Structure 1
Amino acid sequence: MSFTRTLRAVGGAVVAGALLFGTAPVASADQIRNEQWPLQMFNADSIWKISTGKGVTVAVLDSPVDGNHADLAGSVLPGKNFITGSGPADQGTGDDADHGTAMASIIAGHGHGAGGADGVKGLAPDAKILPVAVPGASGQPSAGGDGFSQALRYAVDNGAKVVNMSFGTQKSSPSPEEQQAIDYARKHDVLLVAASGNDGSSAPSVPASVPGVLAVGAADNHGYVWQKSDYGPNVKLVAPGVNIRSASSIVDVHGKYRLANGTSDSTAYVSAAAALLRAKFPDLTAGQIANRLIKTASLPADQQGTSLPDQHYGYGSINPLSALTKDVPAGSKDGPFPAVGGGSSGPSSDPSSAAGDNSGNLTIQSHKGLSAPFIILMLVVVVVLLVIVVVVVMVVKKKNRRNGPPPGGFGGPGGPGGFMPYQQQPPYQQQPGAPGSYPQGPPTQPPGQ
């Protein structure tokens, strides 16, 4: 089965021209690196002091990858080509390998030249790429005819801990084979990341709309959702996807590089962030990695108050440095996903909360109600205290009647020293808006417009 819609990084169009940013680029000997604004926004130099993704394999289900590109050489495993049905997928060239090469470079490019200062550098530069050429991802027919199911199973069986799927088909549900492959990956603790789509549509797309898959939308360098980013209840996160510089298997005026828009690119950045976390926190499950990304996500300042998850922003834009450094409770093993085979999808519930980034953006908190045993215990304590108060009052009154002066005299009723019980204080009430409540109300402006 060939895909009816491949989510290429620009929806079929590559953006030409120079980038215009609100901040000056960092000093670099190479213009290509200067144009990688997500690395500057994420503070990648600080990230790489903590994690580089070393030891983590990211499968790129896509077109073949040009593993001989100067920025990828040595980082790409042979993989397998499910378009032809045999052979490796790391020797792609020309148009047929352009998209896969771009995604691989965003994830694990290492640059080239002195100190790797030239060319494209990925967010997880020490991760390994397992290229798995998917039927339909490069516009070619499938040899096996079963979508991405065989390719996904191959990725799982060959050590991938994160699978990047920057493609999709507009349909309401996966085929039985595709669903079984997704379940197989989840049972093997593999994090699946997929692009939401580039049509500005709410129509469901597979695999992004399948429960258990981390669906990603695209945002610009100010954190606002790209107008062509697909939306819906399945979207969990957004990431950089506008004016994205990446490696290419096609030579242009800049060499083998391209400049593009799309949820494909944003998906690759989320996969790279997941690789950083899997290297830093090897004991966390795939669901707990997703939970950490969600609980450290943020919104633009004027989108504060948006009810979460929002159909355009999900839980917000990824903050990889915060995800690596914040104190985030691990939560349940499934994280924001339903258990394999069913259930509801939402951020993992924990008694503690995780703040957003240090810009004062989104804070996501969880909430649990009081348990029945705790309520019963509190009632028992209150009853005991009331009994003690009554006993004390009775004893004092009896003593005053026996030893006190005549009524109306010193110490009598209403006189100086007469006994007056303390005023009972109202029970503690949690105020609306206290920690544990999600902000309510629609966004101040329609997201993504």
Structure 2
Amino acid sequence: MSFTRTLRAVGGAVVAGALLFGTAPVASADQIRNEQWPLKKFDAESIWKVSTGKGITVAVIDDPVDGDHADLKGNVLPGKNFVTGGTADQSHGDNEHGTAMASLIAAHGHGAGGADGVKGLAPDAKILPIGVDLTSGAMAGSEAADYAAPLRYAVDHGARVVNMSFGVGNDTVTPEEQAAIDYARKHDVLLVAATGNSGGLASNPASVPGVLAVGAVDSQGHIWQKSNYGPNLKLTAPGVNIRSASPVEDIHGKYRLADGTSDSTAYVSAAAALLRAKFPDLTAGQIANRLIKTASLPADQQGTSLPDQHYGYGSINPLSALTKDVPAGSKDGPFPALGGGSSGPSSDPSSAAGDNNGNLTIQSHKGLSAPFIILMLVVVVVLLVIVVVVVMVVRKKNRRNGPPPGGFGGPGGPGGFMPYQQQAPYQQQPGPGAPGSYPQGPPTQPPGQ
């Protein structure tokens, strides 16, 4: 099977500013941090008081990662390049996708106190880079170019979480790939994969049972129009106007602005690293369960039957996942047991989702939601009280004044190994940002199909 697999999940591409005359100024480092809206949305400062992902290794199967980037230096392990056979901690050419994903997970920024540049959601986690060729898929010493060997390498070299922001051309999982997924699960490794950016059905590996499939939402929590969907979609995370690190220098410095489910997947992998550091005794399935039980939907989607094929169980709330009292549940969590079984959140026939503030509410799979029923009961009681009060007042008045002419009321009576970014050149072209999103201006990526 040739690895002419297009990366379906590559999260977007570098935003090129218009250069009409002269040279545009380089974006300041503090501006770069200010543009990381997901960190504000997540309340990252509060998160880092609870967990920073210290002691957890996250494998990134992707382009090689620029381990010398100022915002990543010291957090990138050597790893392995399956194309050259060497290490994967040095980026070559214009391949920036792996560096971008690594930075969203474990960048630490730079400058005084690490206040400048990009910061990842799990800044003390380590990145295990596993280099594959996202364009041709050629892998050194591998005639069958699939993700099976890279995934087994990740498991054998200490990864607790594996980020897979790509999709393969053949949507049917091969026996080798399925065996590698089962191998990872048996070794308690959480697999996180992007659904893709074509607006169609999610594909391999996101579509494979046992893999945590992730879609993209904007700053308001609404699903990104190009985010792929399907019955195996479990979670969503920020994937629109995402600022990340790049090995390539442009008018913004070594940074890029992008859209895509790749970026969303990196944020979920980072959240999983935070949880694995905080709760070392929980299984991979139980970690996924905490993310699901504390996920939220936008206000206009409250009451949606879950899991929804576009939203899954909702968008991640890492702080709630770290601090809420969530029962551990079964060891497999939302995944089918190895060898068969059903997929769904553990320990409860209904899925718990949060409101926009991350507060837990129960969303039933069928019928009306509990909050809606309670609200209706309250409204009915209030209306009954009002009717009783009005009747009593009218009767008292009538006793004093007698009925008006004509009787009561007066006369007349009561009247939804391509990087999850796009196909070649796997970079987004400049374009306007989605209305209402923050910050504005990233290009959308080409379809990841």
AA matched with 1:102: A
Secondary structure of the equivalent of 2:272?
helix
Aligned equivalent of 1:141: 138
Equivalences for 1:3-82 in 2 at 5 Å? 3-10=4-11, 13-16=13-16, 30-82=30-82
Contact 2:56–2:277 under 8 Å retained in 1:
yes
Change (3 A) 1:326 1:357: farther
- In the TM superposition, what is the alpha-carbon distance from 1:9 to its structure 2 partner? 3.4
- In structure 2, which of residues 336, 342, 352 is the aligned counterpart of residue 338 of structure 1? 336
Is 1:221 matched with 2:219?
yes
Change (3 A) 1:173 1:29: closer
- In the TM superposition, what is the alpha-carbon distance from 1:45 to its structure 2 partner? 0.2
Output the CA distance in 1 between the equivalents of 2:82 and 2:158. Answer: 17
Secondary structure of the equivalent of 2:361?
coil
Change (3 A) 1:214 1:275: same
Aligned equivalent of 2:376: none
- In the TM superposition, what is the alpha-carbon distance from 1:92 to its structure 2 partner? 1.5
Secondary structure of the equivalent of 2:149?
helix
- In the TM superposition, what is the alpha-carbon distance from 1:257 to its structure 2 partner? 0.5
- In the TM superposition, what is the alpha-carbon distance from 1:432 to its structure 2 partner? 7.3
- In structure 2, which of residues 100, 103, 110 is the aligned counterpart of residue 102 of structure 1? 100
Secondary structure of the equivalent of 2:67?
coil
Aligned equivalent of 2:346: 348
Whichever of the two has the greater Rg, that structure is: 1
Change (3 A) 1:47 1:17: farther
AA matched with 1:349: S
Gaps of 5+ in 2: 19-27, 374-415, 417-433, 436-449
AA matched with 1:341: G
Normalising by structure 1, we get a TM-score of 0.76
Q: Deviations over 1:249-304 (max 9, x none)?
A: 11011211000000000000000000000000000000000000000000000111
Is 1:2 matched with 2:3?
yes
- In structure 2, which of residues 275, 287, 290 is the aligned counterpart of residue 289 of structure 1? 287
Is 1:151 matched with 2:150?
yes
- In the TM superposition, what is the alpha-carbon distance from 1:352 to its structure 2 partner? 10
Equivalences for 1:368-379 in 2 at 5 Å? none
Change (3 A) 1:312 1:16: farther
Is 1:233 matched with 2:257?
no
Identity within the alignment, %: 77
Secondary structure of the equivalent of 2:249?
strand
Output the CA distance in 2 between the equivalents of 1:301 and 1:307. Answer: 14
Contact 1:329–1:352 under 8 Å retained in 2:
no
Contact 2:37–2:219 under 8 Å retained in 1:
yes
Contact 2:47–2:318 under 8 Å retained in 1:
yes
Change (3 A) 1:264 1:351: closer
- In the TM superposition, what is the alpha-carbon distance from 1:172 to its structure 2 partner? 3.6
AA matched with 2:205: P
- In the TM superposition, what is the alpha-carbon distance from 1:54 to its structure 2 partner? 0.2
- In the TM superposition, what is the alpha-carbon distance from 1:58 to its structure 2 partner? 0.2
Output the CA distance in 2 between the equivalents of 1:433 and 1:190. Answer: 34
Secondary structure of the equivalent of 1:269?
helix
Equivalences for 1:186-201 in 2 at 5 Å? 186-201=185-200
Aligned equivalent of 1:165: 164
Output the CA distance in 2 between the equivalents of 1:218 and 1:432. Answer: 27
Q: Deviations over 1:21-44 (max 9, x none)?
A: xxxxxxx97100000000000000
Output the CA distance in 1 between the equivalents of 2:368 and 2:224. Answer: 34
Change (3 A) 1:198 1:362: farther
Contact 1:288–1:333 under 8 Å retained in 2:
yes
Greater relative contact order structure (CA < 8 Å, 6+ sep): 2
Contact 1:304–1:362 under 8 Å retained in 2:
no
- In the TM superposition, what is the alpha-carbon distance from 1:362 to its structure 2 partner? 6.3
Output the CA distance in 2 between the equivalents of 1:265 and 1:432. Answer: 34
- In structure 1, which of residues 121, 129, 132 is the aligned counterpart of residue 130 of structure 2? 132
Output the CA distance in 1 between the equivalents of 2:66 and 2:357. Answer: 39
Output the CA distance in 2 between the equivalents of 1:61 and 1:291. Answer: 23
Secondary structure of the equivalent of 1:185?
helix
Is 1:320 matched with 2:321?
no
Change (3 A) 1:191 1:89: same
Q: Deviations over 1:80-125 (max 9, x none)?
A: 01122x11100113313x1000000000000001110110000000
Aligned equivalent of 2:270: 272
- In the TM superposition, what is the alpha-carbon distance from 1:5 to its structure 2 partner? 1.7
- In the TM superposition, what is the alpha-carbon distance from 1:357 to its structure 2 partner? 4.9
Q: Deviations over 1:401-434 (max 9, x none)?
A: xxxxxxxxxxxxxxxxxxxxxxxxxxxxxx9755
Contact 2:294–2:353 under 8 Å retained in 1:
yes
- In the TM superposition, what is the alpha-carbon distance from 1:194 to its structure 2 partner? 0.2
Change (3 A) 1:193 1:235: same
CA RMSD of aligned residues (A): 2.5
Secondary structure of the equivalent of 1:69?
coil
Gaps of 5+ in 1: 19-27, 368-430, 438-446
Q: Which segments of structure 1 move beyond 3 Å, counting only runs of 4 or more? A: 8-11, 13-18, 350-355, 364-367, 431-435
Output the CA distance in 1 between the equivalents of 2:358 and 2:178. Answer: 39
- In the TM superposition, what is the alpha-carbon distance from 1:16 to its structure 2 partner? 4.5
Output the CA distance in 2 between the equivalents of 1:146 and 1:276. Answer: 32
- In the TM superposition, what is the alpha-carbon distance from 1:146 to its structure 2 partner? 3.3
Aligned length in residues: 363
